[in-house]
Amino acid sequence: MLHVYITRPIPDNGIAMLKSAGYRISLQKERRDLSTKELITTLATKKPDALLSFLTNRIDSRVLSAAPSLKIISNFAVGYDNIDVATAHEKGIVISNTPCIEVVNSVAEHTFALMLALSRRIVEADTFTRSKKYKGWDPDLLVGHDVYGKTLGIVGLGAIGRGVAQRANKGFGMKILYTDMKRDEGFEKEYGATFMPLEKLLAEADIISLHVPLLPSTHHLITGKTLKLMKKTALLVNTARGPVVDEKAILKALYAKKIGGFALDVFECEPHIDCVPADRYELAKLSAVIMTPHIASATHGAREGMAREAAQNIIDFFGGKQPKNLIK
């Protein structure tokens, strides 16, 4: 009987699928991440055929060497930068992820929620009201910016970037600019979008939304140099990966009022808000910043969809089919 090890609890639908397919399941039942040492010991002891892992599990060469029977890693995430992909492939281990439509919709919605909240100063207004500072209507009170009809720059035209563009253009009449590895003329025709280099996009967009994977080429894609290209009123939203943005550069730009605001769901040194402890949570002190704790995909539908895809990837692989979400 094939053995699947799951590093922390997942929704019941995924477990039910694996059990129905006849697999033996071992589940780490605590809602915490195993340390590298714990993961190595567990895999060496349990010798699973499949590993259902999470983005917070660091699966490096040491972990992979401890699991000689491992044939597939099904990552419960869209990203897979937690896995040493090259070493896994050298060992003949297949890797898959879970970019299901439910996740696409959830992250796109959260991105747009951050965009609206930042533009309309929703968090500031909530804090202001809860602090009993509201004394009556004032035409100058917490004045924000309209989103309708503004120019949105999409950096990375994957499924989530497309989802944000669809909501922005069809729902809010926004002009769409985008940059990616290649042009997509069908996308341009559907949304009246314009393809352009990153530098030009940053200079023209009112709001910039990041949707690139974390790769060596995208690490610190947004730096002090690129921030200088943006309008002083421009807003930046990051629901991709934290290290795509140089947060020290963002702090400097915000203090100098070189950009209008920053909303983020991911952090450069996650789960820490600041990479340097001496910074004393500077990002958290700024009213022009909105932060959420990596919850863009945190809906019941998205989590169940991810569980379904993670289980199906394993079932397909051992059933002789190529997993739908194969990482090459």
Sign of the CA dihedral with 47 first, then 53, 57, and 63 last? positive
Interacting residues of 165 by C-beta distance below 8 A, sequence separation 6+: 152, 154, 157, 176, 178, 187, 191, 193
Phi, psi of 209 (to 5 degrees): -120, 125
Structure tokens at 268: 């450069």
Strand 151-155 and strand 207-210: the pairing is: parallel
Give CA–CA dist 158/180, Å, rounded. 9
Give CA–CA dist 94/192, Å, rounded. 39
Q: Residue written as tokens 């997942």?
A: 10
Length of the chain: 328
Angle between helices 159-166 and 101-119 (to 10 degrees): 50
Picking from 78, 61, 80, 79, the residue whose alpha carbon sits closest to that of residue 70 is 61
Cα 47 from chain centroid? 31
Structure tokens at 250: 């963002």
Give CA–CA dist 191/129, Å, rounded. 38
Active-site residue set? 241, 270, 294
Picking from 40, 50, 61, the residue whose alpha carbon sits closest to that of residue 3 is 50
Interacting residues of 70 by C-beta distance below 8 A, sequence separation 6+: 43, 48, 49, 50, 51, 64, 91, 93
